[in-house]
Amino acid sequence: MDALDIKLWRDFKRLWAQSLAIALVMAAGVAVLLMSFGMSKALDETRDTYYERNRFADVFVDARSVPMSMLATIQTLEGVAAAEARVTTHATLDIDGKSRATVVYVNSLPETGVPLLNVPILRRGTLPDPNASDQVALNEPFAKANDLWPGDRLAINLNGTKREVTVTGWLLSPEFIYTIGPGSLIPDDEDYGILWMPERALAAVLDRTGAFDNLTLKLRPGFDPKPVIEELDRLLEPYGSWGAIDRTEQVSNAFIDGEINQLKTLAYILPPVFLGITVFLVNMVMGRIVTLERTEIGLLKALGYTNLDVCLHYLFLSGLVAAVGVVIGWAAGSWLSFGLAKLYANFFKFPYLIYNVSWNTYIVSGLLGFAAATFGAIRSAMAAARLSPATAMSPPAPPRFKRSWIDRALAAVRVSQPTMMILRSLIRWPIRAAMSILGMALAVSILVSSNFFPDSLDVIIDSAFRQSNRQHAVLFFNDLMPESALEEARRLPGVLQAEGQQYLTAVFRKDHYEKRVVVEARRPGNDLSRVVDTNGQPIDAPTDGVMLSRRLAAQLHVGVGDTVEAEFRGTRHGTFELPVTALITQYFGLGAYLDQGMADRMFQQSSQTSIVNVTLDPAFDEAFQERLKELPKLGGSAMMIENREGFQETISQNILITTTIYVILGVLITVGVAYNGARIQLSERARELASLRILGFTRAEVGFILVGEIMLLALLAQPLGWWLGWAIAKLMAESFTSDLYAIPLVLKPATFSQASLVVLGAALVSVLIVRRQLDRLNLVSVMKTRE
Amino acid sequence: MDKEIVFRTEDLTKVYDTGEVKVYALAGVDLDLFAGELTVLLGPSGSGKSTLLNILGGLDHATSGKVWFHDRELTQLRDRGLTQFRRDHVGFVFQFYNLVPSLTARENVQLVTDVARDPMRPEEALERVGLAHRIDHFPAELSGGEQQRVAIARAVAKRPEILLCDEPTGALDSATGTQVLEVLRGVNDELGTSTVVITHNAEIRKMAHRVLYFQDGKLSRVETNEHRLSPAEIVW
Ligand SMILES: Nc1ncnc2c1ncn2[C@@H]1O[C@H](COP(=O)(O)OP(=O)(O)OP(=O)(O)O)[C@@H](O)[C@H]1O
Ligand SMILES: [Mg+2]
């Protein structure tokens, strides 16, 4: 090994603590980048492959009992490559040994046996025989959760008749990567499943022979779905179609999109922060090293080493730090990716294990780590290369402290000498002080912006469950039901209250803005499912217009007093000019509300109901569930209490994990900044501090100078950190907001104080470690060394 | 004289412009240095000795005037050329040794042998200065005199044509200083290395072939020793 390389290696070993503190900050950036970028890419690519191989459709539409002849018409539409018609419905299962009624989405398998589009993958057993009337297949996660194996039998309530069927196999489908039951907030494999049944048998029970309910289309490559969708809507409107959708609105696909977007947001926000701080830390430390090694640099040049040799020598030093950071970052990132993949497996059902992060991501994240270190070191390395050998070997002039107005001001208030030293140093290196403040402020902001999430969720849960949805269960029907259904519901065992609600679909337009919405027709004074404003006040739907959620109003660019054109589709159709008479803040969905009486007058029809909300006497739970399994017309049911518990449990687990990760990240940054800052202080001031000790200052007094400066910076960082945290939280809340939900920005004082405590604590521990080195300082040797 | 000239300067001037005042560190120096000679530079503090040595060694640029190394004009060379010149031809010894603290004696010498064209082995260079037994010691484990001998070993390891020493004994007591001077004398005698030594100790001039006196940035006097003393004979 060359002598210069030996020096490099020994310097690196000597600086291990500082190097490690920097490397860990860099590692955090590399790890998060690897995880978020790698996983979003993996998710994206896997999904694409799966969609491609299994012919995931481009356009989806639901209607009711459309004659088969329509299929031929649709197949000839321009741009349509393939179309597949299915019979679909929701049904309730009665599974042996399970008290609760279980909801499944039923869809038909074609006569040919294997679907043309959305081709399911057979995971176990066989597909049902197209001619059999008592064979079904289940989606794998549901079958596993309910322990239903090929050969097992279960009862299904189809169109009011209960029949026994045999499970033939387990399937996975690109259409149902993410499944979420009606009324649920998170996937629940046990209580919501997908069931495939041969078309002939299903059509016979549902009276759909020669007709279909659902159509999926594959378009020619590159063909815009919009004109196809418009044509489909026109053709299927008479059959109660709620409107065709493209992939972006397909539920399973939309949730994966949402996840990919969140990962990308993470990839764009966090790694730049960590790599930026790495640049600053490397810059600060390398600057100090080059200053300390002036004479050695001069010597190397005198010996005939070139500018390039010297420059590279220091770049290699930063490169070693980067190597450690990148390796740790890769390890941590791989581990995080693995954990995340396991978490995803709970929600997203892909047929193959695709969660291996590609080599590209490793290479890119590694290169970025090295780039950050090089960028941080380049200024000092170039300065070292430029040092003239003659001047490098003469001692540097002591830094010039100028007496400024600040000094006079300080003198006037008579601060102690150590305090004066702290303040002067801040004024002498304002950029370094400012960067240290910024670094620690970013640590605070990361803690604030990650910690706001649980509080926001509390608000959401409170709003969604305690304020808005106070029913114990929701009953869904496959068709609109007459008012008498309410009476029937009231007669079910254990039902205390029952209230109906009607859903209508419409396209709202204002100028060139357009949005497909589900409109809720509400009866005044409804007590179970309420619309609640931010003050917790229940609000009735207006009788003279429509009430919109604020996010919907924003998307349509309308306010109170404007009118929207509402084109209703489905069984209740017609186009109306509706005045917007109220706006409301909501966290879930893009709500629009009409008064039931007003809706009835608009469509000149009597009230009907889509769902019934009920409250229950728990004593009758079993009897209630038993009856549900028998009810004809029931599409499904959702138990809201279990919903909420499942939601809270899943969320609080995830929050514990993420909060822990963010605390670690915040501490890493703080330690990186505070420890390195203090080490550099000590190195620059060793003589000064030793002189003070010789003059009779106590250890505590001298230590105060060291601890005081860093802690002063840490304190100054707090307000900035709070503000940054607020801004990042706001940005995150906005970027996570989609048509499905909105995240309210809830920042409690405790969030700020906890963030500050963590950062101030980590900073204090870091400087105290350095202070111990100060205590061990050998006064004589410090004074004897030449600098 | 028919001796070969290694260095020749012509009206060599170095001005430090510190803003308010201009300091003439060298104010027009004309001199010749001869191959194989041991030359001592004497003069009061601030008279420009170090400045001259730095320019001769290619560590610094002159403000005006010319320097030739043999028939190469150093003052024409840019940074890269000067680096190459130092690497190939010059050995330096400094007052404060300037050893790299994180490298052992051998490794400090190796710094030079790694980049030189025809170096000795580091062990050989250290043997020459009598430090074969301290070869794996770090500078902090060596005395001042030993450190300076390591520095000399480092300077001669590349078999330089010229050896430039700026107050090599400045930080040493007389006995240690004598040891160091003996090493320098040995190198000059045995390897024929042209050697320039700056010193504040006027007695040392007695071991030189020639003595150059400096005053206010100018060469004030040149003295040739008919009879040279060995370092051991010099009384400090
Ligand atoms: N970098 C510099 N900037 C300004 N003036 C300088 C610089 N280096 C040297 N000088 C000035 O140039 C003059 C000559 O300095 P030089 O170091 O050559 O003297 P010297 O003879 O080696 O003195 P000493 O015996 O004290 O080492 C001095 O007046 C010195 O102050
Ligand atoms: Mg000098």
CATH code assigned at B215: 3.40.50.300
Query: Which tokens go with A456?
Result: 């926001």
- Confirm whether A259 is domain-assigned: no
The pLDDT of A350-361, averaged and rounded, is 76
Q: Is the dihedral of CA B75, B76, B80, B86 positive or negative?
A: negative
Same domain, A450 and A560: no
The boundaries of the domain holding residue A166 are 89-207
Query: For residue A335, how many other CB atoms are within 10 A of its CB?
Result: 13
For residue A614, CA distances in Å to A475, A529, A537, A623, A640 come to: 8, 9, 21, 15, 10
Q: What residues pair up with A56 in beta bridges, in sequence order?
A: none
Give the contacts of B153 (CB within 8 A, at least 6 positions apart): B105, B109, B122, B125, B126, B128, B129, B131
| Domain count along chain A | 3
Decide if pLDDT at A78 tops 70.
yes
Assign residue A604 the CATH number of its domain: 2.40.40
Among protein residues, the one with the nearest Cα to ligand 1's atom 1 is A391
A6 touches chain B (CB under 8 A): yes
Q: In which band, very low, low, confident or very high, does the pLDDT at A588 lie, cut at 50, 70 and 90?
A: confident
Phi-psi region of A581 (alpha: psi -120 to 50; beta: other; left: phi over 0): alpha
Q: In which band, very low, low, confident or very high, does the pLDDT at A692 lie, cut at 50, 70 and 90?
A: confident
Decide if pLDDT at A198 tops 70.
yes
pLDDT at B55: 93
Instruction: State the ipTM, two decimals.
Output: 0.88
Q: For the CA atoms of A480, A485, A486, A488, what is the dihedral angle to 10 degrees?
A: -160
- Confirm whether A189 is domain-assigned: yes
Same domain, A508 and A579: yes
Work out the widest C-alpha separation in chain A, in whole angstroms.
103
- Confirm whether A403 is domain-assigned: no
* Residues of chain B with confidence (pLDDT) below 70: 1-2, 236
**Which of B60, B86, B112 is facing A388, going by the closest CB pair?**
B60
- Confirm whether B24 is domain-assigned: yes
Same domain, A657 and A785: yes
Which residues have CB atoms below 5 A from the ion given as ligand 2?
B 50
- Confirm whether A545 is domain-assigned: yes
Which chain B residue has its CA at the smallest distance from A301's CA? B83
What is the secondary structure of A438-455 as a DSSP string? HHHHHHHHHHHHHHHHHH
| Domain count along chain B | 1
**Which of B60, B96, B103 is facing A786, going by the closest CB pair?**
B96
Q: Which of A271, A413, A469, A252 is nearest to A347 (CA)?
A: A252
Give the contacts of B94 (CB within 8 A, at least 6 positions apart): A299, A393, B151, B165, B166, B167, B168
Rounded Cα gap, residues A284 and A431, in angstroms: 10
Same domain, A464 and A501: no
pLDDT at A787: 44
Rounded Cα gap, residues A34 and A48, in angstroms: 20
The pLDDT of A748-756, averaged and rounded, is 92
For residue A251, CA distances in Å to A140, A180, A182, A255, A712 come to: 19, 8, 11, 6, 52
3 state DSSP class of A549: strand
Same domain, A513 and A604: yes
Decide if pLDDT at A553 tops 80.
yes
Among B47, B96, B166, B212, which is best to mutate for testing ligand 1, by the most ligand atoms less than 8 A from CB?
B47
Query: Which tokens go with A512?
Result: 């060139």
Decide if pLDDT at A506 tops 70.
yes
Decide if pLDDT at A459 tops 90.
no
Same domain, A704 and A773: yes
The boundaries of the domain holding residue B158 are 5-226
Rounded Cα gap, residues A241 and A38, in angstroms: 40
Same domain, A697 and A784: yes
pLDDT at A121: 95
Which of A173, A207, A241 delimits the end of a domain? A207
- Confirm whether B232 is domain-assigned: no
Alpha carbon of residue A81 to chain centroid: 35
Query: For residue A540, how many other CB atoms are within 10 A of its CB?
Result: 16
**Please, are residues B160 and B56 in contact by the beta-carbon 8 Å criterion?**
no
Alpha carbon of residue A662 to chain centroid: 14
What is the secondary structure of A241-306 as a DSSP string? ----EEGGGSHHHHHHHHHHHHHHHHHHHHHHHHHHHHHHHHHHHHHHHHHHTHHHHHHHHHTT--
Burial group, residue A431, by CB count within 10 angstroms (0-12, 13-18, 19+)? exposed
Query: For residue A403, how many other CB atoms are within 10 A of its CB?
Result: 9
pLDDT at B85: 93
Same domain, A647 and A739: yes
- Confirm whether A301 is domain-assigned: no
Taking contacts as CB-CB distances below 8 angstroms, the residues of chain A near B79 are: 307
Give the contacts of A67 (CB within 8 A, at least 6 positions apart): A210, A211
- φ, ψ of residue B94 to 5 degrees: the values are -110, 160
Cβ of A4 within 8 Å of Cβ of B60? The answer is no
Cβ of A786 within 8 Å of Cβ of B110? The answer is no
Which chain A residue has its CA at the smallest distance from B109's CA? A3
Give the tens place of pLDDT for each residue, A139-185: 999 999 999 999 999 999 888 788 899 999 999 999 999 998 877 77
Same domain, A594 and A666: no
Query: Which tokens go with A406?
Result: 């600040």
Among B16, B61, B204, which is best to mutate for testing ligand 1, by the most ligand atoms less than 8 A from CB?
B16
Query: Which tokens go with A66?
Result: 């459309």
Q: What is the pTM of this model?
A: 0.83
Rounded Cα gap, residues B202 and A530, in angstroms: 104
Give the contacts of A393 (CB within 8 A, at least 6 positions apart): A294, A295, A298, A299, A302, B94, B98
- Confirm whether A347 is domain-assigned: no
Cβ of B86 within 8 Å of Cβ of A304? The answer is yes
A292 touches chain B (CB under 8 A): no
Query: Which tokens go with A534?
Result: 């931010």
A313 touches chain B (CB under 8 A): no
Cβ of B102 within 8 Å of Cβ of A389? The answer is no
Decide if pLDDT at A783 tops 50.
yes
User: How does the average pLDDT of chain A come out, rounded?
Assistant: 87
Which of A583, A616, A649 delimits the end of a domain? A616
- Confirm whether B65 is domain-assigned: yes
Which of A187, A207, A227 delimits the end of a domain? A207
Please tell me which residue, B9 or A604, carries the higher pLDDT value: B9
Decide if pLDDT at A44 tops 80.
yes
- Confirm whether B233 is domain-assigned: no
Taking contacts as CB-CB distances below 8 angstroms, the residues of chain A near B92 are: 302-303
Same domain, A648 and A787: yes
B166 CA from centroid of ligand 2 (Å): 7
Give the contacts of A435 (CB within 8 A, at least 6 positions apart): A280, A284
What H or E segment, with its residue span, contains residue A152? none
Query: For residue A293, how many other CB atoms are within 10 A of its CB?
Result: 23
Question: Cα Rg for chain B, rounded, in angstroms?
Answer: 17
**Ligand number nearest to the C-alpha of B22:** 1
Question: Look-up: residue for tokens 């030449």?
Answer: A786
Mutate to test the interface with A, among B14, B80, B83, B99 (most CBs of A within 10 A): B83
Give the tens place of pLDDT for each residue, A361-418: 899 999 999 999 999 999 999 999 998 888 777 765 555 556 666 667 766 777 777 7
Mean pLDDT check: name the lowest of A344-348, A440-444, B83-87, B161-165. Answer: A344-348
Cβ of B110 within 8 Å of Cβ of A14? The answer is no
Percent of chain A past pLDDT 90, that is, above it, reads: 44
Phi-psi region of A633 (alpha: psi -120 to 50; beta: other; left: phi over 0): left
Mutate to test the interface with A, among B87, B98, B156, B198 (most CBs of A within 10 A): B98
β-pair type (A634-639, A608-616): unpaired
Give the tens place of pLDDT for each residue, A469-488: 888 888 888 778 888 888 88
Query: Which tokens go with A407?
Result: 């000094």
Query: Which tokens go with A472?
Result: 């114990």
Q: Which of A191, A166, A167 is nearest to A101 (CA)?
A: A191
Percent of chain A past pLDDT 70, that is, above it, reads: 95
| DSSP secondary structure code for residue A397 in this structure | P
Give the CA angle between residues A429, A431, A433 to the nearest 5°.
70
B215 CA from centroid of ligand 1 (Å): 12
Q: Residues near ligand 1 with C-beta < 6 Å? A: A 391; B 16, 18, 23, 25, 43, 45-51
- Confirm whether B162 is domain-assigned: yes
